Amino acid sequence: MNSLSSMFPFTVPLTAANHQTAEKFYQQHSNSQKARQVYLNTLSVLAVNFYLTCLGMKTDFEQSQSWNPTLQVLVDSADLWVNDLGRLECRVVLPDAKVCVIPAQVWSDRIAYIAVQLNADLTEAALLGFVSSVETEELPIEKLQPIDQFPSYLSSLNVIAPITRLSDWLQNQIAAGWQTLEALLNGQEQLAFSFRTPIVEASQATSGMKQGKLLTLGTPKIQALFLIEIAPRTTSEYQIRIELYPTGAEAYLPRSLHLSLIDEAGKTILQAENSNSEGLEFQFAGEPGEQFSVKISLQEDTIIEAFEI
């Protein structure tokens, strides 16, 4: 927690070009309240984009929900896509406000949330600070982490992996970085013994293809065994199974480890938080060409794996 007096915001001038972009989106909405919301969100996103440019980072407006007029109607989103990392939410803070309002609809699929305070005449934006996750719609400003710590936070994030095509596995075309379960188990003498037999038996019982990798995250660092399996269900549908297990001498996954399933629109459709369990698992069905991501989070570390069926 930080007192306001100890925080040094990053100040960004809002240019005429910024306002022209915001006005362009504003004109596409007949509802005055929504139009104003979109205008302010656009200024907030542009301010954060300027900041990230100063850090030498690349962004993509076209992948940002906030840049899509149709999605602007449906979602109060002020997101900015940061290349290789994911979606960053840039929330507007009005002058003299003591809280940053973050609607529940943007609580997932975000690498962080930056509070952006706009001055009364909209000529300047101050990046007050950030948080890595939220669980309340009204976040007190004093709970923000200082913005000067944001670069080090970004460096702690894991780069998004390229999309892995699961159906290729059924043709024995395995992408780099993935290994068979047997190879992983043979290479992990310290894998929790109680899980070796049931995991192998489950793998042998399926008609599909299961691959995995070891993930490292958290402080102190821990390793988890991440497995994903694809199996034909019908001629036009596949069964997908996602599993996460402990390694080493630990019999359980760390408490507060989060496992999330995110659809191609960025919506979290399944979510589980570990509470002293032996493993986490999701199962679902999908059609060829459908895309989804799996997000694994522990403390300040996040790993996102992207897939296409």
Q: pLDDT tens digits for 172-186? A: 888 778 888 777 776
Q: Which domains, from first to last, does the chain contain?
A: 4-156 (no CATH), 164-308 (2.60.40.10)
Mean pLDDT of 38-58: 96
Rounded to two decimals, what is the model's pTM? 0.58
pLDDT tens-digit profile of 81-116?
998 888 999 999 999 899 999 999 898 889 999 999
pLDDT above 90 for 222: no
Between 249 and 229, name the one with better pLDDT.
Answer: 229
- Which whole number is the average pLDDT over 275-294? 85
- Quote the pLDDT of residue 6: 45
The pLDDT mean for the chain works out to 85
- Per-residue H/E/C for the chain: CCCHHHCCCEEEECCHHHHHHHHHHHCCCCCHHHHHHHHHHHHHHHHHHHHHHHCCCCEEHHHCHHHCHHHHHHCCCCEEEECCCEEEEEEEECCCCCEEECCHHHCCCCCEEEEEEECCCCCEEEEEEEECCCCCCEEEHHHCEEHHHHHHHHHHCCCCCCCEEHHHHHHCCCCCCCEEHHHHHHCCCCCCHHHHHHHHHHHHCCCCEEEEEEEEECCCCEEEEEEEEEEEEECCEEEEEEEEEECCCCCCCCCCCEEEEEECCCCEEEEEECCCCCCEEEEEEECCCCEEEEEEEECCEEEEEEEEC
